[in-house]
Amino acid sequence: MIKVIFWDFDGVLMDSNSIRDLGFEHVLAEFPKEEVDQLLAFHQANGGLSRYVKFRYFFEEIRKKSISDSDILIWAERFSLIMKELLVNPELLMEETLNFVKENQGEYIMHITSGSDQNELRFLCESMGIDNLFTSIHGSPKPKKEWVKELIEMHGYKKEECVLIGDSYNDYEAANSSNIHFMAYNNAKLEALTSIEPLF
């Protein structure tokens, strides 16, 4: 029986994936389009990874240039400014999942564990009045799998009573690394990895 839900954010609670794409295009507009397209392909294939990982991948793997941690933070902050402007839009919230969250207050303990920037996530949720629906909201730079593991240990959750709901293979990996259930959402290719009867 499930008692604890770890929610991914982008593509699960908010229809924001296409806007994240746009953010990378805007922030990296000074670079060759073919390089940015390579990053977008990596970003779309690795939805659960943080922007810090993605910017490092862009510079070190695609552009073959070294980049410092401080410069990564600068690029991430530029990206976050665009996201805060474009994503504070209640129309982007996903009705099916948000209705489930609202209707099941008290039935489940619910956390957001996302690859998106933690400060940005909390700003977005507070701005749209959904922050109080969740026990806690967590994001990068700490990886999702570390947050899941830490929250389970911190609260003494039983692993067989926990599920992570996500739309990317990285979400499945985060669930698998803590040996908890996984429920695929909004991604038909991942449905075979769902390990419980879907909750909705």
CA distances from 3 to 109, 150, 158 (A): 6, 17, 9
* Residue 198 belongs to some domain of the structure: no
Angle between helices 17-27 and 33-45 (to 10 degrees): 150
Question: H or E element: which one contains 117?
Answer: strand 109-117
Position 22 confidence tier, pLDDT thresholds 50, 70, 90: very high
Mean pLDDT, residues 178-184 taken together: 98
Give a yes or no: residue 200 inside a domain: no
Same domain, 182 and 114: yes
Q: Is residue 199 part of a domain?
A: no
119 and 154 co-located in one domain: yes
How many structural domains is the chain composed of? 2
Find the mean pLDDT for residues 116-123.
94
Does pLDDT of 15 surpass 90? yes
Least confident of 27-36, 77-86, 128-137, 149-158: 77-86
Question: Residue 35 above 90 pLDDT?
Answer: yes
pLDDT of residue 46 exceeding 90:
no
Query: Do 133 and 73 sit in the same domain of this protein?
Result: no
Q: Are 179 and 159 in contact (CB under 8 A)?
A: yes
17 pLDDT band, cuts 50/70/90, is: confident
Residue 101 and residue 189 share a domain: yes
Same domain as 101, residue 39: no
pLDDT of 180 strictly over 90: yes
Question: By C-alpha distance, which of 141, 100, 107, 104 is closest to 121?
Answer: 141
Range of the domain at 28: 17-87
Same domain, 103 and 163: yes
* Torsion, CA 168, CA 169, CA 170, CA 176, rounded to 10: 130
What digits encode the pLDDT tens for the residues 126-159? 999 999 999 999 999 999 999 999 999 999 999 9
Distance, C-alpha 184 to centroid of its chain: 13
Domain final residue pick, 63, 87, 111? 87
49 — pLDDT class (breaks 50, 70, 90): confident
| Same domain, yes or no: 73 and 99 | no
CA 149 to the chain's CA centroid:
16
Tell me, what's the pLDDT at 97? 98
- CA–CA dist 23, 32 (Å, integer): 16
- The reply to whether 58 and 105 lie within a common domain is no
Domain contains 145: yes
Give pTM, 2 decimals: 0.89
pLDDT attached to residue 19: 93
Rounded to an integer, the average pLDDT of 55-72 is 98
Residues 92-111: tens digit of each pLDDT: 999 999 999 999 999 999 99
Query: H or E segment at 31?
Result: none
Q: Based on the domain organization, do 79 and 112 belong to the same domain? A: no
Structure-token pair, residue 2 = 């499930």
Question: Are 164 and 148 a contacting pair, CB within 8 Å?
Answer: yes
Domain identity same for 8 and 100: yes
User: For the chain, what is the mean pLDDT?
Assistant: 95
pLDDT at residue number 162: 98
CATH code of 154's domain: 3.40.50.1000
Query: Residue 4 in 3-state DSSP?
Result: strand
DSSP conformation class of 156: T
Residue 41: pLDDT over 90: yes
Beta-strand pair 109-117/136-140 = parallel
Choose the final residue of a domain: 56, 87, 118: 87
Alpha helices in 66-181 (DSSP H): 69-87, 95-103, 118-127, 144-155, 169-177
Task: Quote the tokens at residue 8.
Answer: 């991914």
Helix (H, G, I), strand (E, B) or coil at 9: coil
* CA torsion through residues 89, 91, 94, 100, sign: positive
